[in-house]
């Protein structure tokens, strides 16, 4: 697994909660932004990708572990790696760092995605463009 | 582990995304609502709880697995169980069902929480009220 | 305009931000929940309503004014009133109160909605069920 | 009023809802990101800004008008202008465009902010750094 995208993102007020730091689920959402950004670099059109009547790729599992809190204005660097698990499934790993000191991990996350037909909800093989993106 | 709260919640438009179903991170956020509701039933004041200068209990790990998609208007039933892991740490499990057919699991999630001093970020023992809530 | 729904909602951690109080845009989102709840009481199926290929009713204008801050755990009461402006358009007003002292307004909001065909994006008359909901 | 910041932002899946387009309240949240970015260019430290025990600047009014829908992957350009209304208050205007065709407005928004002491919730004069940012 090689890093296929490095995504930069500043923590915004809407990402935080009354405890003063980033709300736990918001950081998973920020990881998903990195995934979307990565799809764009592979020239996948996001407008149609998430609403494709033939094939959608929902997340079937997500997890995140936090080592440090994050505050408004913190500048993140997210390293994204992806691996195809089989014909219909892939997993993305996210290594979340501060861009100012990127030798220290702030959090790490994973999402697992399965390719299905959105009507039947049955598994279908990943498209060529996705297999290409994964390799 | 006995169920300490059953939480009911209707899926709202803001929980969904352009794929038509619930956005993955939103369901973790809904699980956290169940946790908050549970704290309220134990008469813990949420206004001060999340901003306590002596003790905060951030989430250090969260994970969720999806078995079925969820749509706007779906009525959820979440069974929450919690277990104390040691003096400073506990884990909550969430079983997510449709309230209309509650023998079939839609998703399941976990969050792990560690009690710390918000200034030093060092571990401190869980408060009596939290230990009571956990037992 | 008579109140067509009173909606109760507890402020959750995810509604707040690092300033300690409710994030401004979150309260508009909570108002939209009241609108959704109101549609449900009129037996409108939300699963299909927001994805109807014939007719969607996007918000074309929204505004909110805050008189008081709101904190995690605060219990809201929202009075929703609606008025049809013409064949294709209606406006909803939201009066936001604390359920514990409902003589004092916390905030007020408005949303204006226009009925369109989702493909052509041209205005179409409101459906019978919506006209009925509005009267 | 001169444009004090132009902010670029791609629409992400989490900004959208099951109707397929951007959720109305999310675009106000994106406008707030532009405001935060603008504060950063004035070297205001966001980590402390939103949690300052002497002075906070909550939004007392927000409004948004939509002319066109926005989809996942759309690339926005937001022109931010701000005007000081009096010693304690300012208003920000946001002109939201597609970066690919920036002669056509997609939406416009406004937020009004009042400077207060967070404990007393009474108005206090805007700080020097904020007055400088506004001029």
Instruction: Answer for the pair A8, A99: CB distance below 8 angstroms, yes or no.
Output: yes
- State mean pLDDT over B116-130: 94
Instruction: Answer for the pair D11, D71: CB distance below 8 angstroms, yes or no.
Output: yes
Q: Spell out which residues of chain A touch residue D32, defining contact as CB-CB under 8 Å.
A: 12-14
Phi-psi region of D85 (alpha: psi -120 to 50; beta: other; left: phi over 0): alpha
Beta bridge mates, B23: none
pLDDT number for residue B3: 77
pLDDT number for residue D1: 61
Instruction: Answer for the pair B9, B30: CB distance below 8 angstroms, yes or no.
Output: yes
Closest residue by Cα to residue C62 from C27, C14, C88: C27
Question: How many C-beta atoms surround the C-beta of residue B48 within 10 A?
Answer: 12
Catalytic residue among B17, B52, B74, B103: B17
Query: What's the DSSP call for residue C125?
Result: P
CATH code, B78? 3.10.129.10
Over chain A (135 residues), what is each successive 10-residue block's mean pLDDT?
87 97 98 97 92 93 97 96 96 96 90 95 95 91
The number of domains in chain D is 1
| ipTM for this prediction | 0.95
Alpha-carbon distance of C130 to A36, in angstroms, equals 36
Instruction: Answer for the pair A26, D29: CB distance below 8 angstroms, yes or no.
Output: no
Please state the separation of Cα B12 from the chain's center in Å: 18
How many residue contacts between A and B have a Cβ separation below 8 Å?
A: 77
For residue C61, what are the CA distances in angstroms to B18, C2, C83, C112, D20? 21, 22, 15, 5, 18
Residues (pLDDT < 50) of chain C are none
pLDDT number for residue B99: 93
Instruction: Answer for the pair B33, C12: CB distance below 8 angstroms, yes or no.
Output: yes
Instruction: Answer for the pair D24, D93: CB distance below 8 angstroms, yes or no.
Output: no
Question: DSSP 3-state assignment of A4?
Answer: coil
Residue D26's φ and ψ, nearest 5 degrees, are -65, -30
CA quadruple C39, D18, A116, A118: dihedral, nearest 10: 60
Alpha-carbon distance of B104 to B93, in angstroms, equals 16
Instruction: Answer for the pair A1, A83: CB distance below 8 angstroms, yes or no.
Output: yes
Query: What's the DSSP call for residue D20?
Result: S
Any A CB within 8 A of B36 CB: no
Whether residue C72 and residue A13 make contact (CB cut-off 8 A), yes or no, is no
Residues (pLDDT < 70) of chain D are 1
Whether residue A50 and residue D14 make contact (CB cut-off 8 A), yes or no, is no
Surface-to-core class of residue D61, CB atoms within 10 Å of its CB (0-12 exposed, 13-18 middle, 19+ buried)? middle
CA quadruple C116, C119, C122, C125: dihedral, nearest 10: -40
Question: How many C-beta atoms surround the C-beta of residue C100 within 10 A?
Answer: 10
b/e burial code for range B88-105 (CB count within 10 A of at least 16 → b): bbbbbbbbbbbeeeeeee
Domain interval for residue D50: 3-134
Portion 62-121 of B in contact with A at CB < 8 A = 62-66, 69, 111, 118, 121
CA quadruple D57, D63, D65, D71: dihedral, nearest 10: 50
Q: Between D14, D72, D73, which is nearest A29 by CB?
A: D14
pLDDT number for residue C4: 85
What are the residue numbers of the active site of C?
Answer: 17
Surface-to-core class of residue A65, CB atoms within 10 Å of its CB (0-12 exposed, 13-18 middle, 19+ buried)? middle
Could you tell me which residues come within 8 angstroms of residue D120 by beta carbon, excluding any fewer than 6 positions away? Answer: none
pLDDT number for residue A2: 73
Could you tell me which residues come within 8 angstroms of residue D4 by beta carbon, excluding any fewer than 6 positions away? Answer: D38, D80, D81, D82, D133
Instruction: Please report, in angstroms and rounded to a whole number, the separation of the first and last CA atoms in chain B.
Output: 9
Question: DSSP 3-state assignment of D39?
Answer: helix
pLDDT number for residue B1: 61
Instruction: Answer for the pair C37, C7: CB distance below 8 angstroms, yes or no.
Output: yes
| Residue D57 to chain C, least CA–CA distance (Å) | 9
pLDDT number for residue A1: 61
Any C CB within 8 A of B58 CB: no
How many residue contacts between B and C have a Cβ separation below 8 Å?
A: 58
Instruction: Answer for the pair A24, B50: CB distance below 8 angstroms, yes or no.
Output: no
Question: What angle separates helix B24-41 from helix A24-41, to the nearest 10 degrees?
Answer: 180
């Amino acid at each position: 697994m090689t890093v296929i995208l490095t995504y930069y993102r500043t923590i915004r007020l809407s990402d935080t909660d009354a405890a003063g730091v980033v709300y736990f689920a918001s950081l998973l959402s920020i990881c998903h932004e990195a995934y979307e950004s990565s799809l764009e670099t592979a020239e996948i059109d996001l407008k149609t990708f998430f609403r494709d009547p033939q094939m959608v790729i929902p997340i079937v599992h997500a997890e995140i572990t936090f080592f440090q809190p994050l505050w408004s204005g913190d500048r993140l660097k997210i390293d994204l790696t992806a691996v195809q698990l089989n014909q219909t499934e892939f997993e993305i790993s996210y290594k979340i760092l501060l861009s100012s000191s990127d030798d220290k991990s702030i959090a790490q996350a994973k999402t697992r995605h399965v390719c299905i037909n959105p009507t039947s909800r049955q598994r279908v093989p990943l498209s060529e463009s996705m297999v290409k993106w994964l390799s």
